[in-house]
Every structure is written in C-alpha cells, then in structure tokens.
Structure 1
C-alpha cells in the first residue's frame, strides 16, 4: 500500500536539517563533519564532506580558498573578486564533471548575502546547494474562492515528464527561483507568463503578497544531482483570486514546456494528492501555509499545528536579503 503522508511528514521532507536553536544536540551531531562556510564572523552556509574534499584539491578547485578545521573561507576583498573566484571553482568542477548537479548549469546567478542585505558574492544557480547557502524563490497559488454551492478550488500544474527535477509531480500554480537583481514580485510576474500564460496586467492587478515560507531542505535524488546536498530556502508567497472560467476567469495554460497541464482541484483533491506525496516537496509546504492562512488547517483539526507553522517559517543562522 502506498504511504499516506501526514502534514508533519510533508514538513519533515522539506525541513530535514536539524535546527541549531531548537535541536542543538541533533545539529551538533549532524554537522560534526561539516565545514562552516564563513564570511567574516558570519556563517553563510554549510559544506558537506564530499564538497570539502573537492575544495581541498587545489589543482581542481584553485587556490582561492582558506580551509582550516571546520571552517572554509572564500578569498577576495570585494564582491567582484569573491564572485570571480567562486565562479572559477564551480566552472572547473563543471568541466571536470566533478558533481552531477553542475550538469544542470544555467548561466543564472543567485545572490549570496552578507549582513544587512548587502551582497557578499554571486554564484551560479545550479552550484548553490554545494555550499549550503540560502536560495530564494517566489510561489503563487491561484484559486477560485468557495461559493454556497462550490468548494474553494486551486489551479494545480503537473510538471512536464521531461523535467530534470521532479518530473511529473504536482506544483504550485506559478513558481520560480529569484536570480540576481530580480525581486519576488517581478519573479512572479515573469513566471506567471512563462509557466501559466497569465497576462502581466492581470497578474499585477490581482496578485497579492501574503508572506513567505522558509525551510532547510536536504535535497532528494529527485531534485537533480547528488542526494544530501543542503538547500536552505526562502519562498515569497502570493495568492491570486480568479473567477471560474464560466464567469470569464483566466485559465492557466502551459507556455514554456515546463508544465504538462493545469488541473483545477478542490481542497479535498489537493489534500488527497498531498497525502499521496504527489506534490514537489517545497510546493507542499506552500500549500500547507495557504491552508493555515485560509483557515483550512487549524489547531482544532491538526495535532501538530504549532510545529508545522513554526517550521514553515524557519529562522536561519545566516545573513539574508
């Protein structure tokens, strides 16, 4: 029989790295062989042993790294110097096929932050899980509100079968990573057109910022590349109310080939698919947050309500944007 996932199971899937504040013993045990990736006095990420071994190979990785027991530092006095150095290292790894995850090289940069939202350096999107640094994205739930005769319904896309990550799984209506210089709002506008054929003017007029979810993901094999890589992440969340198509509401349609279809599901159908583990893990987290905000998931019907809510809004020990 297929496993039935509880809401807490779904959170465990996406927030699988021990929290240094709430579970210090588990954290100490887990990170005993990890290196702290430091910038000045601040931790910007964690580096697991197989990546640390690659960094120690100067012939492969270059001499832009200061490595002492338990600590790694990237050399460079300026943002530009640090960016150039980490780019050279990750390109060498890609060309040498050192890490499978780099086969998905995108030529898209993510911003890694120093304190107070200042850029520390920029790095290739596909490489960031190798260094355990925080990534950012934006997700939007497009839904039709309940009426006296119909339940609340959500537009749910199915990822294309040819996707390199989580092929065929269910997703949030609109979602994407935030590259260098792109804020969450513009990310949503862009992805709404590319993934769901939603008109820009309509999205700008109707989408609403509703908060965020944050978690510390330990990557599964289905994420692409090596399993066990570390990915702390913040997803800015948006809701957009639409009318039923029979009343002139927009119908999301695939555009860029990343989505196979869009399915209009009522809440019970979404819950059934969540319990079956059919949603991409971070998309399940966004939906749980949606359920909490809309009073679908409450302290009365969910025994782990407080833990779920807290872990969907994890506070990181790293500088953030």
Structure 2
C-alpha cells in the first residue's frame, strides 16, 4: 500500500474532511416521510414524484409541515402497510429504481425502540430514505496497537471493493444490535458466538447523507471486540473479499484516501481516538 501523503499531525482532520465531502445532504431536496404523524425517513423529492404516480402511496403532510408527506395514508395496520410496501418494492425493482434485492425485511419506524409501522424489503429502504439501523465492530488484536479490517466483495451492491470494519451488518426487523452483531461475526469473520458476545458497546453514531440509491439515514451501533493474537478471520458468506491485519498509521492512510466506507470510517476513527492511537485527535 502506498504511504500517505499527509503529515501525521493533520491526518485526522483529513479523514474527517473526507467524510464530510462524501456526506452531502440538502434538506430542501428532501421531504420528511411520516407514518401516523411520526417521521420515519427523508425521501428525495424526485423519488416522491415516482411514488405519487402510484395511487394511495403518498399523502400530504400536516398543514404546518409543507415539506412532509405521509406514507400510505389510507393504511392503518402493520399488515396492510407491509403488504402495500411489498408490492411497491417489487414495482421499484421491475422499474430499475432499486437493486441488490436481499430478501430481508427492514422496519419502518421512527426509532429502534419504537414499534414498527411496517416492514419493507431492505433493497427499497434507501430509495424511500427510511431510518435504518446497523451494528459495526472494530476487531482489536489483544496486546497490540493493531486491528483487523475487511474489504467488501466486488459483488456487493453497495460500496463494492471498499474497506470496512471487521464486522458490519444492517439490522433486520425484530433484531437487536448485539444479536445482529453476533450473527454477522459468524458469517463474515468466523468469530464464534461465545467470543462475539463479549463485544463492548461504545455508543451510536448517526449517518445522514445523499447516496445514488437515495438517502442513507442510519443509526450505527459501535462495538469493540478484543481478539486473541493468533485469531485469523475467515469469511463464510462470500461478502468479504479479504481481511487485513493493520496498524493505526496504515489504517489512517486508507481512511484519508477515502478507500473505506463512510460509516466504517466513522466507527474506526471513534476507536482510534478513544484508544489514543491517532497522532493528533483535535476536537470534532
């Protein structure tokens, strides 16, 4: 890997600037998407135009909120909303508006702890701009200033070939952050459940940015897991192209070059600063 062109004292600022540059979000280009008066998403206005051509899909928001729309205003139950969204997701797929069909259901909800209003195929969540949830884990090597990271498969529909946390995964409806993490640990890196269950939580970060699919509005739950020095990750689900054991300097260079996903960069930077593994960590 090529050496970083940045001075050690400025590299954290460079990493942060890279995240900002890759995280544009213009509120005026979006509508607050609501169900039963609660915001569940940030829908791009151009995507709202698509949905308005489907009878019953969108309604006007409250009079006091001209920049809001209501999803499925005539549906009043979890079951009817979910059925309508299942049909919508297939229509969006057939029309080429979504890709990377996952056969996995995400919640339509204003918060992780709130009851879901409905579920929808994961592939359609970012087209709608829905609030989603994910668990990410830094793999820390015991007794060393080093970590394991992973590179996403080139076949991934989102961020193919980019560097990622050792383990990262979206949270399907009905799952818990640690439960999601334990499952992804086994699939992505061959970490057994008894070891994965020792992961330590370190808070939540919010990602809100415009992306080609629509909007990534995600609450990312951060975990650190200390791994034995002789542990070597093994991918089981084909979604990881390679794993790399890496020291902080080389890792920061990858992040500064914008070769790591935005959410993984934020999660990685969080642990590097917490552990004092950065040459300079100015206030955010």
Q: What range describes the TM-score normalised by the shorter chain of this pair?
A: 0.7 to 0.9
* Alpha-carbon distance in 2 for matches of 1:242, 1:281: 24
Unaligned runs of 5+ in 2: none
Please name the residue that 2:83 is paired with.
84
Q: Which of the numbers 8, 14, 24 marks the counterpart of 2:16?
A: 8
Distance change >3 Å, CA 228–CA 96, structure 1 → 2: closer
Q: State whether residues 138 and 224 of structure 2, in contact with CA within 8 Å, keep that contact through their aligned partners in structure 1.
A: yes
Bigger fraction of residues in helix: 1
Distance 1:167 1:179 in 2: 21
TM-score (norm 2): 0.86
Say whether 1:261 aligns with 2:242: yes
Distance in 1, Cα, partners of 2:255 & 2:135? 20
Q: Secondary structure at the match of 1:8?
A: helix
Match status 1:272 vs 2:269: no
- Matching of residue 302 in structure 1 with residue 276 in structure 2: no
TM-score by length of 1: 0.76
**Between Structure 1 and Structure 2, which shows a larger proportion of strand residues?**
2
Structure 1 CA distance for aligned equivalents of residues 264 and 68 of structure 2? 33
2:163 is paired with a residue of what secondary structure?
coil
Question: CA–CA distance in 2 between the matches of 1:131 and 1:159?
Answer: 24
Count of paired positions? 269
State the distance in 2 between where 1:181 and 1:235 align.
16
Could you say which residue in structure 1 is the equivalent of 2:155? Answer: 162
2:222 corresponding residue in structure 1: 237
Segments of 5+ residues of structure 1 without an aligned counterpart are: 18-29, 220-226, 307-321
- Paired residues of 1:14 and 1:285 also in contact (CA < 8 A): no
RMSD, matched Cα: 2.4
**CA 87–276 in structure 1, closer or farther in 2 if over 3 Å, else same:** same
Match of 1:122 in 2: 119
Question: Residue 184 in 1 paired to residue 181 in 2?
Answer: no
